[in-house]
Structure 1
């Protein structure tokens, strides 16, 4: 196999793919593109890039970045949960692919995991498709389905994606020319928008433990918006919720701990932590 000069664009969500690229014998990892400090989580991306002594560029795409990219002879661009639009039509690159967390053509969009948990479990899987100017609509190259176990929520599906995405990418790397020669155009399909805020909101004054656990299962580490009786709406993730008798009025923040709150619900207590930062593509 001919060695490939590869650029990677993404944050920590799919960084198991970056780990594969860094370890692959036939890959030279020459550029990493990720978010700025304070944006999406990037600790693992930065650690892998540092270990490989690979340059890292952050922030929105710019004309200067296009020039730099085109000057360093990239064979393959791998985009995996990247935060910004890439002007693929302006890049001199032989191959460009995107790693997407559904079985396309269903589930295009910036945050499909929130729908996979309850609405479309049959679409659990990873798709790698050719990048085109149209979001998530390029021809499909590789797909890697997986089964959802009973009780799996957002965070459990994320762990499966962490494992299966590099498997799909390894298949592609084993014979890139073959997969591009046999790519399958997408037909039909669906687009899943960011869930509306109302679907991601818990009013502690009226909510039950079951309500909190449902939101946690659907949104996991992304979290949901919590309304309490004495705080502005806050984006949190549940760490535990239990039905129990208590002396607090529902909606009351009963304790502010070093890493989160304990909040009274109508039939129990909810413990929260700050949600991971997330912004749509």
Structure 2
């Protein structure tokens, strides 16, 4: 099947696409989107054009005229038109209708654990309101974080799409309408910061909830995404925020009740 992607996919999606013999015509990203190695590899292997622009009705009509049969959206922030012959599916990281809206994972980890999972649904005129093709629930473990839920979504959704794409017409026809109104909706991701005046556990909890995409460290002239936080509790007399060690990817810093080892991504 010839498909177009809106947003980014990981290596499991690339493998699924290759194994099943699908063709990726083009990949549509928001401007300044980070190009992961997996996405670059997929584009190179498939000969896919990468478009740093918002897809619109005119572009979708062009895709349909060029033989694209399905558009798949993952983590794409813009509303995609639905008034064209081109069918579209979105992968959303919650059990819809709960968590409708942008990036519900932090809210799931903090207070809506029953909504953990993902939904594959038809694109619709309103965000995340289309008919449901497939849903899968996740049981949250003690070590789940924002990043593990995203990885689990990629792993399991790519596996689910193997079956869906083999019989898309049947899955499309039997999709279930979202009749219930959501009890809560996501409001988007507002990045949070590592704060040395807090305890080690409080800072680790922030990173667990917001992940590498939503946790930042700002120390002196350094502002960077946090990729992990570890450390230890220890009584000390240092001012929270005192830097003990720093290199190009890791900083050791005093916090309220000990020391944090903050891994970060250099920009």
Contact 1:250 1:266 in 2 (8 A): yes
What is the match of residue 175 of structure 1? 167
- For 2:249 and 2:195, locate their aligned partners in 1 and report how far apart those are by CA, in whole Å: 21
Q: Deviations over 1:236-280 (max 9, x none)?
A: 343322212345211223333111322210111112233699xxx
Displacement, 1:136? 0.7
- State whether structure 2 residue 221 is matched by structure 1 residue 239: no
What is the match of residue 16 of structure 1? 12
Residue pairs, 1:85-124, within 5 angstroms: 85-89=79-83, 91-93=84-86, 95-124=87-116
Q: What's the Cα RMSD here? A: 2.6
Q: 5+ residue gaps in structure 1? A: none
Query: Of the candidates 238, 251, 255, which is equivalent to residue 248 of structure 1?
Result: 238
What is the match of residue 155 of structure 1? 147
- For 1:41 and 1:215, locate their aligned partners in 2 and report how far apart those are by CA, in whole Å: 25
- For 1:164 and 1:155, locate their aligned partners in 2 and report how far apart those are by CA, in whole Å: 14
Query: Of the candidates 1, 26, 30, which is equivalent to residue 31 of structure 1?
Result: 26
Superposed structure 1 runs of 4+ greater than 6 Å apart: none
Displacement, 1:6? 1.3
Contact 2:243 2:253 in 1 (8 A): yes
Displacement, 1:119? 1.7
- For 2:247 and 2:266, locate their aligned partners in 1 and report how far apart those are by CA, in whole Å: 18
Equivalenced residues, count: 265
What is the match of residue 266 of structure 1? 256
TM-score of the two chains, using structure 2 as the length reference: 0.86
- State whether structure 2 residue 44 is matched by structure 1 residue 50: yes
TM-score of the two chains, using structure 1 as the length reference: 0.82
Displacement, 1:30? 2.0
- For 2:7 and 2:266, locate their aligned partners in 1 and report how far apart those are by CA, in whole Å: 16
- For 1:67 and 1:129, locate their aligned partners in 2 and report how far apart those are by CA, in whole Å: 21
C-alpha distance 84-46 of structure 1, shift in aligned 2 (>3 A): farther
- For 1:10 and 1:232, locate their aligned partners in 2 and report how far apart those are by CA, in whole Å: 28
Contact 2:232 2:260 in 1 (8 A): yes
Contact 1:212 1:241 in 2 (8 A): no
* DSSP 3-state at the match of 1:128: strand
Displacement, 1:174? 2.5
C-alpha distance 276-100 of structure 1, shift in aligned 2 (>3 A): farther
